[in-house]
Amino acid sequence: MKINLRSPDIVMKLSKLGSFHQSKLSFLRSFLKEFKDWTFKRDLFELNEFGYGTAVYSFKKNNRVYSLICFANKLDENERSDRVIATKWDAAFTLHDGVPTKKDIERLKNEVPKQEIGRLSYKELTLSRANKSVRVFNHVVESLSEGKQPDISLLSSVGYLYRTTAVYGSGKFGLADRFRIKDREEICGPFRLEMMLVYLVRQFTFDQVNHVAKNQNPKKAISLDLEICRNLGIGNSTGLGMAPFIVNHPTLLNNWVLARETILKEIREIKEVKKVDSDFFKKCLKKSIKNITSWTTESEYQQKKIRSLLSDLNNFITFMEKDFNFDNEFAFNEIYKWIEKNSGDECIEYIVSMMMEPYDQIVNPLIKKMSSEEEKYFNIPTNRTVLELKDILENRYKNILKIDFSKSENNQNFWFISKNKEEPRLADRFDEKGSELEQPLAIARDIKKLYEVLSVVKNSLTIDKFLLKNNHLRHVVRRAFIVEKFPYSEIQDNTISKSVVPIDMLRLKLSFFGALKFDPRSDKWLRICMFQGAPLPEQLKSYDDSWVYNSLN
């Protein structure tokens, strides 16, 4: 049986993208799988009794070494902020390409804690900073120093000791450009070095908390139980900085979503599902439920989504146990059709992620196809005609072309770059100043504009001639020709409407990262947890890819 890929008109709606969950495709899982047989080492650990100082961790294989350099500094209570406007953090990190010399560490000690206003070199690959969850960190220090393990319920409710507030890569602030490293086999998947940084930071947080407790009470202190460590991740606060990324990297977005959709299609096309695979699917699904029941948030928007997810999942499990037989042909296709009919987007996308669990042989080849050479598709094919471009718009932007942008609610917001932090922001066009400096992120509006202009020129006109008078639409002409080749490269929604939920854009990206427990703090930023339940570096040799469902929380 031939199953079609799901239509981009459905998949690329923001509400759908904002319901994606982690899966076997997620970057943090594929990173661990790739690095499981690398040698992990703590090369340097020079912290004072309060946990301030420098540490270096590395992954090594053959002649390749990646080193995380950590700088932990004293931070006054009133200086601690997760917001991007902060200028100081509890700790700052960089991932260095190779073994850093003493000179490198001295240089980086001056630059890394400054973050955006510091300068890195081509020898550094990623940059980040993090703040303690003071409540949890202090509780763990106190408990350990008194010879007791900390309160698990407190740890479970937060999920981490530290949370990062930004992770930078790809040439920012002088970091290495991607072209320098893109051909390395071990980092062929997207964001692999960002994932490595976060993973190694997680280990630093455990070492630091143990070190501080030990110094507080050398005779009595014990170390944090390894099983508790494994069940802690790294938090992350993420704001709008991430949102334009998915608009500005269309072919990359396509490759992520296309990989997911291709896998779903191939799984639905399996005629006879082996018992071992259906059992594994059921096992992962059931074990995963505690990741949802332990998912806490104060956001009513997210609470509603979690409630609906849980309720739909319970219905699905009942259906699966009472009314469904995996011996039927094309069983996963039947499951997909059932959830599509009976469940909301959160549950549909959750089950889609779960379906991938038994199928390494389908998933693994696609992981390697998730990167993109964006430059290859930059040039506009100016020998094409207006008619062809119109056809592309009519086929690829059906729903976008129906939007009436003369209505103020469809044109309510604008995206801009803030002067003080050079970060993307969203504001009300009619209430705030600055819309004349709008970023080219209102793709839906500009595509509609392009369509209107195309409608009144000759169909036979070539694009080079069309652009003579219409270069103001050049950025969307380029996109349309990209979308023609890459159907999942465009969000099929209006990113400037009154009703836009920007965190849906963040959620999409974070789900591909492999984040859990999305916790929206407003419609513009959220907190997440990464690597919760992941094996510790010393446990990687016996790596189990379904670790994400083995957490205690």
Partner 1 sequence: MKSFSEIDTVSKRASRAAGFDWGIAEEVGKNIRMLEMLGLPGIKNLNYYYKVRVKRNFEILNLISEENKSSQLEFCPIIAGVSFLDQVRSLENLNEIRFQSIAYPILFLPFVSRASEVIGKKIHLKIDKREFLLNYGNSIYSNALKNEITTIGNDITIKFIKNVDSFEEKEWKELYKLSENTFVEENESLKESGAGAGLTDND
Kindly indicate which of the ranges 270-278, 312-320, 336-344, 376-384 contains the residues binding partner 1, using the contact rule CB under 8 A. 376-384
Cβ neighbors of 358 (< 8 A, separation 6 or more) are 276, 277, 278, 280, 281
Kindly indicate which of the ranges 62-70, 353-361, 378-386, 387-395 contains the residues binding partner 1, using the contact rule CB under 8 A. 378-386
Residue 178 or 283 having the CB closest to partner 1: 178
Distance in angstroms (rounded) separating the CA atoms of residues 15 and 223: 44
The answer to whether residue 471 forms part of the interface with partner 1 (CB under 8 A) is yes
Residue 369 or 478 having the CB closest to partner 1: 478
CA nearest to 92, candidates 64, 113, 66:
113
Kindly indicate which of the ranges 110-118, 361-369, 462-470, 544-552 contains the residues binding partner 1, using the contact rule CB under 8 A. 462-470
156: left (phi over 0), alpha (psi -120 to 50) or beta: alpha
Residue 395 or 471 having the CB closest to partner 1: 471
For partner 1, what does the binding mask look like between residues 438 and 457, x meaning CB under 8 A?
A: --x-----------------
Whether 169 contacts 8, CB under 8 Å: no
The answer to whether residue 107 forms part of the interface with partner 1 (CB under 8 A) is no
The answer to whether residue 313 forms part of the interface with partner 1 (CB under 8 A) is no
Distance in angstroms (rounded) separating the CA atoms of residues 463 and 379: 12
Q: How many CA atoms lie within 13 A of 462 on its CB side?
A: 7
Candidate list 378, 430, 458, 459; residue touching partner 1; CB under 8 A? 378
CA nearest to 444, candidates 409, 490, 412, 478:
490
The answer to whether residue 461 forms part of the interface with partner 1 (CB under 8 A) is no
* CB of 415 vs partner 1, minimal distance in Å: 12
Distance in angstroms (rounded) separating the CA atoms of residues 134 and 16: 35
* CB of 121 vs partner 1, minimal distance in Å: 7
Distance in angstroms (rounded) separating the CA atoms of residues 310 and 305: 9
The answer to whether residue 534 forms part of the interface with partner 1 (CB under 8 A) is no
In this structure, what token pair is assigned to residue 226? 């390894």
The answer to whether residue 474 forms part of the interface with partner 1 (CB under 8 A) is yes
SS3 159: coil
Residue 128 or 551 having the CB closest to partner 1: 128
Count CB-CB contacts under 10 A for residue 216: 16
Kindly indicate which of the ranges 58-66, 87-95, 314-322, 472-480 contains the residues binding partner 1, using the contact rule CB under 8 A. 472-480
Kindly indicate which of the ranges 18-26, 154-162, 459-467, 535-543 contains the residues binding partner 1, using the contact rule CB under 8 A. 459-467
In this structure, what token pair is assigned to residue 550? 């083995």
* CB of 327 vs partner 1, minimal distance in Å: 42
Kindly indicate which of the ranges 97-105, 197-205, 473-481, 516-524 contains the residues binding partner 1, using the contact rule CB under 8 A. 473-481
The answer to whether residue 375 forms part of the interface with partner 1 (CB under 8 A) is yes
* CB of 464 vs partner 1, minimal distance in Å: 4
In this structure, what token pair is assigned to residue 425? 């922001």
* CB of 426 vs partner 1, minimal distance in Å: 18
CA nearest to 116, candidates 70, 190, 167:
167
Residue 471 or 522 having the CB closest to partner 1: 471
The answer to whether residue 435 forms part of the interface with partner 1 (CB under 8 A) is no
Kindly indicate which of the ranges 74-82, 97-105, 257-265, 470-478 contains the residues binding partner 1, using the contact rule CB under 8 A. 470-478
* CB of 482 vs partner 1, minimal distance in Å: 12
For partner 1, what does the binding mask look like between residues 335 and 374, x meaning CB under 8 A?
A: ----------------------------------------
* CB of 180 vs partner 1, minimal distance in Å: 9
Residue 179 or 430 having the CB closest to partner 1: 179
Distance in angstroms (rounded) separating the CA atoms of residues 383 and 460: 11
Candidate list 472, 485, 498, 541; residue touching partner 1; CB under 8 A? 472
* CB of 187 vs partner 1, minimal distance in Å: 16
Q: How many CA atoms lie within 13 A of 293 on its CB side?
A: 12
CA nearest to 540, candidates 52, 74, 37:
37
- Three-state secondary structure along 223-277? CCCHHHHHCCEEEEEECHHHHHHHHHCHHHHHHHHHHHHHHHHHHHCCCCCCHHH
| Residue where the block lists tokens 């504001």 | 427
Size of the residue set binding partner 1 (CB under 8 A): 33
CA nearest to 496, candidates 442, 449, 447:
442
The answer to whether residue 118 forms part of the interface with partner 1 (CB under 8 A) is no
The answer to whether residue 393 forms part of the interface with partner 1 (CB under 8 A) is no
The answer to whether residue 382 forms part of the interface with partner 1 (CB under 8 A) is yes
- Residues 163-192 contacting partner 1, CB under 8 A: 170-179
* CB of 475 vs partner 1, minimal distance in Å: 4
CA nearest to 64, candidates 101, 32, 92, 35:
35
The answer to whether residue 318 forms part of the interface with partner 1 (CB under 8 A) is no
Whether 237 contacts 527, CB under 8 Å: yes
CA nearest to 269, candidates 15, 1, 542:
1
Q: Which residues make up the interface to partner 1 (CB under 8 A)? A: 121-122, 170-179, 375, 378-380, 382-383, 417, 440, 462-464, 467-468, 471-478
